[in-house]
Structure 1
């Protein structure tokens, strides 16, 4: 009888899964192996993928197992890090599953710092990995999380060998993305082989962190949502209820306020489990928002290795978490080391003096640290120090200072030495020469220049009249001149604090007013009848009085899902067209009342184009979906195009001569706006997936590119005439572009027989229209994504560092 009972018990145990024992211990000699005398760690959660329990007083655990178990893994406690991996693969030959811990001061305390990377999608080593490693080391970062799309077999194997805790010097935890579910016995097989379980948890500082998997992907996974929910419930039950919970996943669970994860048979309401933030990737964009009702934050970043699908800047995020959840977020743009450009005083046309003071404007950036302080020293020709000034930070790039010019003489040469001290104590010094001009700019410009006609003087050159920083980065919201004021919009892809709409005096650059918006206004502002209009990343539209920034009306367009709104709206005949997909709509400028809402399409990803009005047809798009033509008056969909690369788009179309000129992935199309059909096409050898608009002159079609600067085509023959390369981008933004990309996101404008444009290499170019020959090149020191605004002889420009420039062509 006893024999029969034993056999039956063994059978039942086998059916339910094996049983696993082990120990969590303090690995005092750091050899990754438990040895007699090494202290066991009490109260540490361990799991077999379904069951979760805590270690006893001696650090021992005993897990019952289950039918699908493949790993035993540990929830690393706050104040510790692993001496080896957080998981062990189940093997019949393993007698005990032991996990060694080491003290980690970066994981202790009332707050903790982490880095998020995502969608790296590469199998090649590049500098972003070194940026990540060095930043982590210098900034007391506790751990790094990769939120998925590592990507495919080559990417998975590369990251498993090159982007590791050993290589980075920090714990790195991986999420599985849709492109990480690859061919095998089941979708997650290779991921598990390289990185372990697809769901698990760990503690750091005051918080509890949970890594969760994608529901599905390129290949069907073996896990189910119900299994994940079952484990999460047990994991959270074993966690202190007062700990803030941060969840990592490759995609956002919901845009709504209630984070309810539902399976076929089970569900879990994460709002009831102290959820404070959902950190994700997938969309290749930079977007952060916070729920008004729950305080839960939604945090996304683009890839650190390349430009985003919607032309978001390549970056990684540093995130600080305290007892209340996310305390602070900072973006860090990759591939820059000791970048320092003093753009004023820089040359004879880049020297600004006002009220007896010389303005110092410097763009300073390093991907691996932050700037603690900076100062500039002025020396005369004999090397005598004649002035010094500390520099004050405007943004994470821009620094300003002033020195008296009493000891400087017109026409004389001087040296400016700028000294930077980084947070890690390292110093960097740079010198450059400049000449005090004979006719010192006063910072004032004749009003006549704001409305005069464009000149034809081939010898005209750009001279800086003023520069001012508006305390936030500028993406694609180009300066617009209206009502005697200059209007620019700023972004804040971290904490939503520095985003808004700012009015400046176009003559002096003085800030006249600023309106704080809910989220980043990423693209073009519009003006009509004394009202400035803009729509932010969350789909809120603002109508402000141009005179003083007073809010006329504010409207929630009804955005209920991703992507965030990054397109540019337009005004036509008293109607403001804005929004995307199911919240694309026409609004009455005076009142904000809705005239029509699009009901004909949805889906795809955000595109940074500005809408185009082509007669009675409104043209807009969705990245990775289609280009659409709508009836301007009713919103009815007239046509759509997703063929020939038109579904992969970033740029704005231009309506000229009854035709629409617009780019696809690597071609320029000339379309009939009524039907969307091709009238002509330029088959390019260039990548045109930039945010710029084609320029049509009487002779040429001129278009910026993602990699090769600017190209010009003969308007009649559509044959290439010239190509003007630019330098390597300081910050990569065009989709999937990385090092050695001469990107131009800014539209080219025409002045007489000259062309003007700014590039991602941080330079402002003045070139010959017929040859593309460079006539003048000014180093601003920060990438420019926004289009320049040309008014008569005045050129207004905004860089990514938040500097707004007023130039005069003279």
Structure 2
């Protein structure tokens, strides 16, 4: 039950002679000034930073002030927006603190839509700002919240000038982050001069929203937690206790179920005040969780301006709030405009005929608009329309359709024109040519090139011929795929999906590797970010909340499920490894070895904790288990006991994302901008490649007979001579469609997916949405296929089969010709 505190003492200020008077009014002429005849707004909460009271029937108020008051601010009521700012600085010359309101239909009604941005950390203008502006306009967003780390003096001044209500066309409310507490008379001085008070509230739709500050940061603030608590109690006392409460802060208050804010002398239990969600940033990752016990949602996003610290995709969130709290969350990946790629049919290598139909697969995305519908029209060489197919959405990227293959003649050229209609009515069109090969099967399916998956992991030689790929099937598994690479095991293909918004589409899916048919799907409670493991006929994976699942491969039945005991952030995004009947998974204080058959804990790490999530997969180097924590250390453990053998945090090894590889008694692993060759028993350097590249990607180094090959964050793929460690070639890729590598943005040619070798050639997919075949010796591009969605997951190679999964949720089966 909401804590009840009287506000009568504030109302008595009228009698006692208040220091700060003013009016809340309907600014009918929009001049930001109260003019005689303009209606006062009653029952609007106003505050001096401690006291909270409601305006009288004429919109007037009088506040007593307090010893540390610096602002008078208003709680904007639902159905309205401000004609100026939500705050006024207290100054001797000010006689009246008046706040003008304007009607705002987007803030009224039974639900309201908002956007969250966070950790933008920039003083440069870029398209993500335009994305916000246009999306807000197109989708009738009510307001935008920035949950902090605007970042340092330059960033704070830039946002105050460029990321404003005037620039965006929407109200924007700022939280103060740890890097926004900067040098001055006190830590929040600059923030206050630009954005006003560090804690305040407003209403929109059915909900009450509260902005709260960081406890501390780079410079000590002048406010105390007790002062924030005192104000919050008064603010909530003046609020309808039935309203759902949404709190914004730069960081999460607690990972526990009870949200109790404690100061030195005071505390407040927010669970008793109808708290429904805590929206935050700080961790630079994408993570949403809902408490089983309380229903409170924990909502975090990476920055819209760049990739996340843990390689999370750059995005902003749209969040819809109703009377029950969070109704729906949607991620929106920045910098994409009218992105439309039909990856099948495309040319002659990307074309599928199945069950007598020509299958159409398109990846469509626009940051600023919602796709209402899509259709494809096929024309012959003379321009005659011969077939039309409406496309159906699988995910927020992927759309499928089909037309009768009998209408297509083998060996002739055709044009496919795809039309996308956005919800505002605008239409975007793309055209491309294709040819149905003369050897294409017109019966049940065109999968004759794929064979049994009996010899898992085998690699065949192309006998000196240049490698070429042909698409045999594609299927969408209805959820995004991050680092959950296809796992070929037990005669099936297993893929993990994520849902960093509503936790509905996350899970483990099994597909037929010959046809791509989905055989079963197991729903997990949160996203499984990384590759699954197979050990002794059991499929294993751990989700972002630290729950491990052991499934039967034939039908997806749960064998056992274990809560690893994750009690704090960051969320678990690493990849576990299974070997000799043991599954190694978890991080920090819940890093442990589990018995595969039963889920029983064999050992648990007691030697280290902390850091940020890292998207590496653990490396087994003989008897040493190698794992890490981003911004903390690289660790070597005794695989049998879990005892810590060594750790490295020097030379950039504490800033890492990639998985190491064990070969020839050595571990090859990357740091921030170097490649290390380590002794696994001691963690000491055997050798090192001083890089001119940023290696903070999720990919694993590839070691061939001649080369060490490593993807980069900004420059595609680079090859080094294995003996001399000198650079041999660099193969750039296109600009990433979605930015994931830490702090990367426009201009970054990122490759998050590991390179694999086939014969004399190399195969890899990139964040530019293309699948590449290149020559190992020269780095020359032999084939480049446009998938239309970024690929973060590693490819899986089996004989003449290549399996690949893109971020849009498409799983592909290719034949190597």
CA contact (8 A) 2:440 2:446 kept: no
**What does residue 548 of structure 1 align with?**
555
**What does residue 484 of structure 1 align with?**
491
CA contact (8 A) 2:714 2:744 kept: yes
Residues 448 and 558 from structure 1, CA distance in 2 versus in 1: closer, same or farther, beyond 3 angstroms?
Answer: closer
**What does residue 443 of structure 1 align with?**
446
CA contact (8 A) 2:493 2:511 kept: yes
CA contact (8 A) 1:450 1:792 kept: no
Asked whether 1:780 is paired with 2:783, we answer no
Partner secondary structure for residue 277 of structure 2: strand
Q: Deviations over 1:324-373 (max 9, x none)?
A: 00000000000000000000000101110012100000000000011000
CA contact (8 A) 2:801 2:813 kept: yes
Distance in 2 between residues matched to 1:533 and 1:271, nearest whole Å: 35
Asked whether 1:790 is paired with 2:793, we answer no
Partner secondary structure for residue 176 of structure 1: coil
Q: 2:643 aligns with which of 636, 639, 657?
A: 636
Runs of 4+ with >4 A deviation = none
Partner secondary structure for residue 643 of structure 1: coil
Q: 1:807 aligns with which of 791, 806, 814?
A: 814
Asked whether 1:767 is paired with 2:774, we answer yes
Q: Deviations over 1:607-637 (max 9, x none)?
A: 0000000000000000000000000000000
Query: What displacement does 1:380 show?
Result: 0.4
**What does residue 517 of structure 1 align with?**
524
Distance in 2 between residues matched to 1:281 and 1:448, nearest whole Å: 46
Query: What displacement does 1:448 show?
Result: 4.7
Asked whether 1:659 is paired with 2:677, we answer no
Distance in 2 between residues matched to 1:725 and 1:764, nearest whole Å: 13
**What does residue 7 of structure 1 align with?**
none
Query: What displacement does 1:195 show?
Result: 0.1
Give the number of aligned pairs: 796
CA contact (8 A) 1:290 1:298 kept: yes
**What does residue 759 of structure 2 align with?**
752
Distance in 2 between residues matched to 1:607 and 1:103, nearest whole Å: 46
Query: What pairs up with 1:518-597 in 2 under 5 angstroms?
Result: 518-597=525-604
Q: Deviations over 1:139-160 (max 9, x none)?
A: 0100000000000000000000
**What does residue 401 of structure 1 align with?**
401
CA contact (8 A) 1:456 1:751 kept: yes
Distance in 1 between residues matched to 2:130 and 2:703, nearest whole Å: 43
Partner secondary structure for residue 132 of structure 2: helix
**What does residue 279 of structure 1 align with?**
279
Partner secondary structure for residue 179 of structure 2: helix
Distance in 1 between residues matched to 2:459 and 2:567, nearest whole Å: 46
CA contact (8 A) 1:17 1:66 kept: no
CA contact (8 A) 1:54 1:61 kept: yes
**What does residue 682 of structure 2 align with?**
675
**What does residue 100 of structure 1 align with?**
100
Distance in 1 between residues matched to 2:531 and 2:33, nearest whole Å: 59
Query: What pairs up with 1:578-727 in 2 under 5 angstroms?
Result: 578-727=585-734
Query: What pairs up with 1:247-326 in 2 under 5 angstroms?
Result: 247-326=247-326
Query: What displacement does 1:449 show?
Result: 6.9
Distance in 2 between residues matched to 1:44 and 1:17, nearest whole Å: 20
**What does residue 3 of structure 1 align with?**
none
Query: What displacement does 1:450 show?
Result: 5.8
Structure 1 residues without counterparts, runs of 5 or longer = 1-12
**What does residue 26 of structure 1 align with?**
26
Q: 1:455 aligns with which of 461, 464, 468?
A: 461
Distance in 1 between residues matched to 2:587 and 2:683, nearest whole Å: 19
**What does residue 155 of structure 1 align with?**
155
CA contact (8 A) 1:519 1:537 kept: yes
Partner secondary structure for residue 555 of structure 2: coil
Distance in 1 between residues matched to 2:365 and 2:128, nearest whole Å: 15
**What does residue 131 of structure 2 align with?**
131
Distance in 1 between residues matched to 2:18 and 2:665, nearest whole Å: 74
Distance in 2 between residues matched to 1:383 and 1:245, nearest whole Å: 59
Query: What displacement does 1:407 show?
Result: 2.0
CA contact (8 A) 2:538 2:552 kept: yes
Query: What displacement does 1:529 show?
Result: 1.3
CA contact (8 A) 2:373 2:391 kept: yes
CA contact (8 A) 2:689 2:725 kept: yes
Asked whether 1:114 is paired with 2:114, we answer yes
Partner secondary structure for residue 447 of structure 1: coil
Partner secondary structure for residue 98 of structure 2: strand
Q: Deviations over 1:170-191 (max 9, x none)?
A: 0000000000000000000000
Distance in 1 between residues matched to 2:531 and 2:283, nearest whole Å: 22
**What does residue 83 of structure 2 align with?**
83
Q: Deviations over 1:195-251 (max 9, x none)?
A: 000000000000000000000000000000000000000000000000000000000
Residues 575 and 70 from structure 1, CA distance in 2 versus in 1: closer, same or farther, beyond 3 angstroms?
Answer: same
Query: What pairs up with 1:380-399 in 2 under 5 angstroms?
Result: 380-399=380-399
Distance in 1 between residues matched to 2:254 and 2:424, nearest whole Å: 39
Distance in 1 between residues matched to 2:778 and 2:562, nearest whole Å: 48
CA contact (8 A) 2:459 2:797 kept: no
Distance in 1 between residues matched to 2:72 and 2:795, nearest whole Å: 58
Partner secondary structure for residue 155 of structure 1: helix
CA contact (8 A) 1:22 1:62 kept: yes
Q: Deviations over 1:37-61 (max 9, x none)?
A: 0000000000000000000000000
Partner secondary structure for residue 676 of structure 1: coil
Query: What displacement does 1:444 show?
Result: 2.2
**What does residue 182 of structure 1 align with?**
182
**What does residue 166 of structure 2 align with?**
166
Distance in 1 between residues matched to 2:610 and 2:80, nearest whole Å: 43
CA contact (8 A) 2:18 2:62 kept: no
CA contact (8 A) 1:492 1:519 kept: yes
**What does residue 729 of structure 1 align with?**
736
Partner secondary structure for residue 577 of structure 1: strand
**What does residue 231 of structure 1 align with?**
231
Distance in 1 between residues matched to 2:306 and 2:744, nearest whole Å: 5
Partner secondary structure for residue 425 of structure 1: coil
Query: What displacement does 1:424 show?
Result: 1.5
Distance in 2 between residues matched to 1:424 and 1:54, nearest whole Å: 40
Distance in 1 between residues matched to 2:718 and 2:462, nearest whole Å: 22
CA contact (8 A) 1:450 1:793 kept: no
CA contact (8 A) 2:51 2:234 kept: yes
Distance in 2 between residues matched to 1:52 and 1:430, nearest whole Å: 57
Partner secondary structure for residue 150 of structure 2: coil
Distance in 1 between residues matched to 2:706 and 2:495, nearest whole Å: 32
**What does residue 428 of structure 1 align with?**
428
Partner secondary structure for residue 76 of structure 1: coil
Partner secondary structure for residue 161 of structure 2: helix
Distance in 2 between residues matched to 1:448 and 1:307, nearest whole Å: 39
Distance in 2 between residues matched to 1:760 and 1:775, nearest whole Å: 18
Asked whether 1:501 is paired with 2:504, we answer no
Residues 704 and 18 from structure 1, CA distance in 2 versus in 1: closer, same or farther, beyond 3 angstroms?
Answer: farther
Distance in 2 between residues matched to 1:168 and 1:770, nearest whole Å: 50
CA contact (8 A) 1:450 1:794 kept: no
CA contact (8 A) 2:202 2:209 kept: yes
CA contact (8 A) 1:605 1:625 kept: yes
Partner secondary structure for residue 313 of structure 2: coil
Distance in 2 between residues matched to 1:576 and 1:809, nearest whole Å: 33
**What does residue 417 of structure 1 align with?**
417
Distance in 2 between residues matched to 1:746 and 1:18, nearest whole Å: 65
Distance in 2 between residues matched to 1:577 and 1:402, nearest whole Å: 44
Distance in 2 between residues matched to 1:453 and 1:523, nearest whole Å: 24
Partner secondary structure for residue 62 of structure 1: strand
